[in-house]
Amino acid sequence: MKLYKLTLAALLLLAFPLSASAQTTLRIFTGGQQRPDVMRKIADEYQKKNPNVKVEVEVGGATSEAQQQYLSTVLSSKDSVLDVILIDVIRPAQWAAQGWAEPLDSYLGADKAKIMAQYLKAYADADQVNGKLIALPYFADSQFLYYRKDLLEKYKRPVPKTWDEMMDTAKAIMDGEKNSNLQGFSTAGAPIEGTVCTYLVPLWGAGGELTREGKLNLDAPQAREPFQLYGRMKQSGVLPKNIAEIPTDRIRIDMQAGNLVFGMTWSYVWNRLENDADSKVKGKIGVTTLPHDPGGKSATCIGGWQLAVSAFSKNKAETVKFARWLSSPEVSKMQAILASHMPVFPSVYKDPEVLKANPWFSEALLVVEGAKSRPVTAQYPQVSDVIRSNMNAYLAGTKTTDVALGDMKSRLTPLFR
């Protein structure tokens, strides 16, 4: 018996280094804003199912631009350190042009069409560039109007449908509450990616388009609408005075502290408002579609994060297997419950456990299905820079509508030729 145990121990000792050397380590990159804690839990789950794989989670900057700057450095030098990379929905065109992502078509083989048909169409489209599959959808996102249910009830106001209704309601509540910290409405205004949507949402809500058939369409009268809308909001005091300094997560922080009546922001905010220990607004928040112009239709920016396999990964087969699991209904459901990340599969929205954690998901599916894309081009970073810096200058009051719109036109025209 003793001999048997000793033999077993010796065998184990022999076997252990062997199994260790057969282990593959995969490194996944995610942004600080995309709930790396939840990614870790999901990765642990994968490790349990695949004992031969060890997953390391690398956490990058909080903003999409900060992440991309780091990734540009790593990938331009063809570094193999990252295997799976979480990228913003605006990136696939640039990634395809730069050759940073391993095209996944051959891995999916004949099943590609069938597999892609299971996703929300917007993401299946966004991740295929010129017929090549650049990334797999991880979670969906779009902007919503977050509002204070309790304050709307207190002042007997309906949930606003148009921008002007929202402004009136916000103003009435600010006047009634007499709380100098309470602000009516907030959205991203700093010179960051989110501010591109701050311009596009009211433009779309007025029936306008940035481009039409690939050509710039800013001569249309609707192109002035966003400037005029925010101008009115600033004048009435509904917008914070320092709107030009507000980054995306600041809206969540202000809302969570009970200092905001309305906020235009993304789906991750819900989970934080309902679950964070310091949230002062638990159970007081409603989520609805964004306002629009009378006669227009509610619109929203499509967001969300995609799983790209690095073209320089040394373990492509294992990496693709991991990425495909991350892009599954099972993981979509986990994310929805743990982080209120919106699923990329329409079927998961109807899951009772998902709906229990996020009651507003029943309406959200319609919103995501109707969400619009920011311009798709390999030169998106330049396009984004023009829109956000001019919107930011207008919100800061350093450019008038005419100057901001004129500068946007003259700098965007060469990019859409």
Partner 1 sequence: MTETSIVKHKDLSERTLGILLLLPAALLLLVIVVYPIATLFWNSLHSADPNNPQAEELFVGLDNYTRAFVDDRFWNSTLKTVLYVVVTVPGALLVGLGLALLANQPFRVKWPVRLGLLLPWALPLVFAGLIFRWFFEYKTGVVNDWLAALGMEPPQWLSDPTLAFWAICIAITWKASSFMALMLLAGLQTIPRSLYEAAEVDGATSWQQFVEITLPMLRPAIFVALIFRTITAVQTFDIPYAMTGGGPGDATETLAMYINKMTLDFLDFGYGSALAALMFLISMVATSGYLRYTRRSAARSGE
Catalog residues that contact partner 1 under the rule CB under 8 A.
65, 68-69, 72-73, 76, 94, 97-99, 181, 190-192, 240-245, 378-379, 381-382, 385, 389-390, 392-393, 395-399
Q: Which residue has the tokens 């009115």?
A: 232
Q: C-beta of 249: minimal distance to partner 1 in Å? A: 14
Q: Which CB, 24 or 236, lies closer to partner 1? A: 236
The residue among 150 and 385 lying less far from partner 1, judged by its C-beta, is: 385
Structure-block tokens of residue 45 = 């789950």
CB of 79 to partner 1, least distance (A): 15
Q: Find the shortest distance in angstroms from Cβ 235 to partner 1.
A: 16
Q: 222 near 297, Cβ under 8 Å?
A: no
Looking at the Cβ atoms of 93 and 320, the one nearer to partner 1 is 93
- Closest distance of CB 73 from partner 1, Å: 7
Q: Which is nearer to partner 1, 179 or 398 (CB)?
A: 398
> Which lies closer to partner 1 via its Cβ, residue 165 or residue 407?
407
Which residues contact residue 251 at a Cβ distance below 8 angstroms, ignoring those fewer than 6 apart?
186, 187, 188, 260, 263, 264, 265, 269
The nearest distance, CB 191 to partner 1, in angstroms, is 4
Q: Which is nearer to partner 1, 114 or 417 (CB)?
A: 417
The Cα 364–Cα 368 span in angstroms is: 6
Q: How far is the CB of 370 from partner 1 (least distance, A)?
A: 30
Q: What span, in angstroms and rounded, lies between the C-alpha atoms of 69 and 63?
A: 10
Q: In what order do the strands lie in the sheet with 285-288?
A: 183-186, 260-265, 144-148, 285-288
Task: Give 338 or 393: the residue with its C-beta nearer to partner 1.
Answer: 393
Q: What is the distance between the alpha carbons of residues 112 and 179, in angstroms, rounded to a whole number?
A: 56
Least Å distance, CB 207 to partner 1, is 27
| φ, ψ (nearest 5 deg) of residue 136 | -110, 140
Task: State the Cα–Cα distance between residues 183 and 189, nearest whole angstrom.
Answer: 15
DSSP letter at 416 equals: G
What residues contact 82, with CB distance under 8 A and at least 6 apart?
Answer: 27, 28, 29, 58, 71, 74, 310, 313
> How far is the C-alpha of 253 from the C-alpha of 410, rounded, in Å?
36
The least distance separating partner 1 from the CB of residue 241, rounded to whole angstroms, comes to: 6
Decide whether 25 or 242 has the Cβ nearer to partner 1. 242
